Amino acid sequence: MQCAMHLGKVGSRQVTVVQLNGSLDRTAYSTRAEHTVDRIAEAFDGKAMTLAAPMMVDRPDILASLFSDSRIAAALELARKANFVLFGVGDVSEQSSLFKTGYMDNRMLRKLRAGSRGAVGDICGRFFDAQGRIFSQELNERTLAIELESLRKKELAVAIAGGARKSRQSWACCAGSTAMC
């Protein structure tokens, strides 16, 4: 959000800016992802395509149903085809957006942090371990977002991470991919 707020008019590039994951608006706390996408598109004199659906659902069959929606499928397909992506790296803590919006509770937080092989962060709601691998396949199958593997294949992928701890997590998510570093 801060990047979008400080982005001045770049000029007529006529790009399409697409949201990479579903919304995080479950409580009074909001990441305002749709607003961020709109602001960036406006700066480039482009169009915005948002994902008006929750980022994480209760069951995989619900996610399959959402994927069958033509608007959601089109947005995710456009995200997969993009050659440039900009995304945030979240941490596994009470300060994370996922915790503040209620997608992650204390029980889930303990499960994610469990043991030396716990999750170290998330990108687009997809939790990863210190080697950059998906931490929980069960959570992954309920997450409405572009796949991490798709991000690794991009011509240019920019991870935004605030603070030293998140910077270390960003390196973990790269896991052998200079495209994401």
pLDDT the model gives residue 166: 53
pLDDT the model gives residue 70: 95
pLDDT tens track for 7-29:
777 777 778 888 898 887 655 55
> Predicted confidence band at 74 (pLDDT cuts at 50, 70, 90)?
very high
For 147, the token pair is: 């796949």
- What is the residue-averaged pLDDT of the chain? 82
pLDDT tens track for 21-56:
888 765 555 556 777 888 888 888 889 898 888 999
**Predicted TM-score of the model (pTM):** 0.81
pLDDT the model gives residue 138: 93
pLDDT the model gives residue 168: 52
Report d(CA 99, CA 120) in Å as an integer. 14
> Predicted confidence band at 178 (pLDDT cuts at 50, 70, 90)?
very low
Mean pLDDT to the nearest integer, 93-103: 86
CATH 3.40.50.2300 fits 2-180, yes or no: no
Q: What is the CA radius of gyration of the chain?
A: 16
> Predicted confidence band at 179 (pLDDT cuts at 50, 70, 90)?
very low
Percent pLDDT > 70 in the chain is 80
pLDDT the model gives residue 134: 93
Residue ranges per domain, the chain?
2-180
Q: Whole-angstrom distance between the N-terminal and C-terminal Cα of the chain?
A: 20
Report d(CA 145, CA 122) in Å as an integer. 11
pLDDT the model gives residue 146: 95
Mean pLDDT to the nearest integer, 76-80: 94
CB 62 within 8 A of CB 52: no
> Predicted confidence band at 154 (pLDDT cuts at 50, 70, 90)?
very high
pLDDT the model gives residue 109: 92
CB 124 within 8 A of CB 149: no
